[in-house]
Amino acid sequence: MQRNIRSVDDVLAMLDRLFAPGADRWSDGGSDWWDGFYADRDRDVPFFVAKPDENLAGYLARGLLTPGRALDLGCGPGRNAVYLAAAGFDVDAVDLSPTAIAWGRERAREAGVEVAFRRADAFATELDGPYDLVYDSGCLHHLPPHRRIGYLALLDRHLAPGGHFALTCFAAGAMGSQIPDADLYRVGRLEGGLAFTPESLRWIFADLTEVELRRMRDEPPESDCFGEPFLWTALLRRDR
């Protein structure tokens, strides 16, 4: 008989274990899965391209963001982190996968920019905030519902007053699972990633002020930017 719950962390760890092995790809134990995912750079994966998200490039072009300190959550091979560094940001980039981090460092060297890449679980690691920009391109939709608590706590700790949070995530009806949160604990997997509606995003991030929420534009192969219409893009601000 086990009686091993005495803290919130114990409860969260128990909920993690409800997911089948390999399904909790957000967690440190999922780094092997992500390493395998990034190992073959020639795979036909849309976001393997060395291009920034079209919404991120647009925010800078329109003056909605200006250079400062930035955190790239779940940075993968670093395409957005490298772009931000080239645009004058001081960038910290965090990912679970050592393979992705190594690829990102290669890209930064090739681009001649400095990015502080770090292999870590951003939600269990001390970060060097506050940040003027926290950017998430595809991390949120790989988190089980109970881990959104830590996600919001990270923003609360590390997003500077007046700073911006920007996000891309699966759009309901276009990509990702629409299984209700409670039912995910019955099936024991994230179904490849969770879909969100605009209403759900506004509710989750209700403490931030919405600047823009729209579908990502579909960018052609010859574009300088990455864009797939199955994603939401959101820009929110933490009021001073």
Domains delineated in the chain:
8-237 (3.40.50.150)
| Among 204, 201, 205, residue whose Cα is nearest residue 231 | 201
- pLDDT given at position 142: 92
Q: Is residue 147's pLDDT more than 80?
A: yes
Q: Mean pLDDT, to the nearest integer, of 163-174?
A: 98
- pLDDT given at position 4: 86
**pLDDT for 61-70, tens place per residue?**
999 999 999 9
CA 148-212-171 angle, to 5 degrees, is 55
Whole-number Å distance between alpha carbons of 43 and 37? 9
Q: Is residue 23's pLDDT more than 50?
A: no
30 against 71, higher pLDDT: 71
Q: Is residue 41's pLDDT more than 80?
A: no
Measured from the Cβ of residue 176, the count of other Cβ atoms closer than 10 Å reads: 21
- pLDDT given at position 20: 56
Residue 25: partners with Cβ closer than 8 Å, 6 or more residues away: 33, 34, 142, 190
Which residue has tokens 């300190």?
A: 69
Whole-number Å distance between alpha carbons of 163 and 138? 20
Q: Is residue 26's pLDDT more than 50?
A: no
Q: Is residue 80's pLDDT more than 80?
A: yes
